[in-house]
Amino acid sequence: MPRLLLFQGGVVRTYVYVDGFNLFYRTLKGSRHKWLDLKALVKRILKPQDEILRIKYFSALVLPDTRDPAKPINQQTYIRALESFIPEIEVHYGRFLETVKTLPLVNPTAEQTFAKVLKWEEKGSDVNLGVHLVYDACRNFYDCAVIVSNDGDLAEALRIAKEEFGKVTGVISPAYPLTYDLMEHASFYRYIRPKTLERSQLPDPIPGTSIHKPGSW
C-alpha cells in the first residue's frame, strides 16, 4: 500500500524496531550523544502522521571489560532511563557469546603464524528483531514498520512485511550509505544526522527518578 494513501486516511500506526548494537557502533560510539531519546529521534525523522505505538529495542547486556569496567553499569542505566521515560518502549535481549578463536597473524614470523584471541559476539538481536517485525505484521499491529539499523540481514523481514502483508516499510539508517539489501525492500529510508542526535537527548536526570546520565557519557 503506498504510503501516501495511508497518510490520506489519517494517522499511520507505526512500530519502530531498534537494532541497539548497530545503532551504537555505527553512530553513537565515541560521540557525546549516547543518552539518546529514541522516541524523540524517530519523531524528528518520521512524518507527523506516524503515530508511534511501540518502540522495540533489541540489544544484549554487555560483558564486563577491563578496559571499560563501567560499561555494563552505563548500559543498564541507559535501559532503565528508556523504560522510565518512554512508555512505548519494549526491551528484548539477545546474548553475548565469548569464544576463543585461533586466527592468522597479519605479520607472521618464523616462530608464530597464528594467535589465540578472545572474541565477543552479540547473538540473537537481529533474529529477534526480524521475528517480531514479521509477527506484528501478521497480527496487523501496524501500518508502517520502521527499523533503525543498517544490517542487511533484516532485509528478508522487511520484504515479507511489505510484499506478503502489504505494510509500509521504512529504514532509519545510522550509517551512510544504506546497504542495498535494505534499500531494495524499504518503502522509504532516512539517515540519522548528527544534529538530530544532538536534539534528541534524554533529560538528565529522568523526571521523577534518580536516574542520571553516566558521567563518562
Cis-peptide into 205, omega within 30 deg = yes
- Of 36-45, 95-104, 144-153, 175-184, the one with minimum mean pLDDT is 95-104
Q: Which residue has the cell 518512554?
A: 86
Task: Give the residue among 177, 175, 125, 111 at the shortest CA–CA distance from 154.
Answer: 125
139 domain residue, yes or no: yes
Inside any domain, residue 101: no
In a domain, 112, yes or no: no
Tell me if 129 sits within 8 A of 150, measured CB to CB.
Answer: no
What residue has cell string 525492500? 185
- Mean pLDDT taken over the chain: 92
133, part of any domain? yes
Length of the chain: 217
Distance in angstroms (rounded) separating the CA atoms of residues 30 and 46 = 26
Where in the sequence is the domain holding 24, given as residue range(s)?
3-94+123-198
Q: What does residue 154 show for φ and ψ, rounded to 5 degrees?
A: -90, 0
pLDDT in tens, 10-23: 899 999 999 999 99
Dist CA 65 CA 188 (whole Å): 38
**CATH code for the domain of 43:** 3.40.50.1010
Number of domains in the chain: 1
Residue 65 is assigned to a structural domain of this protein: yes
142-199 confidence digits (pLDDT tens): 999 999 999 999 999 999 999 999 999 999 999 999 999 999 999 999 999 999 999 9
The reply to whether 211 falls in a domain is no
Model pTM greater than 0.85?
Answer: yes
> Residue 102 domain-assigned?
no
Q: Is residue 83 part of a domain?
A: yes
The span from the CA of 25 to the CA of 154, in Å, is 17
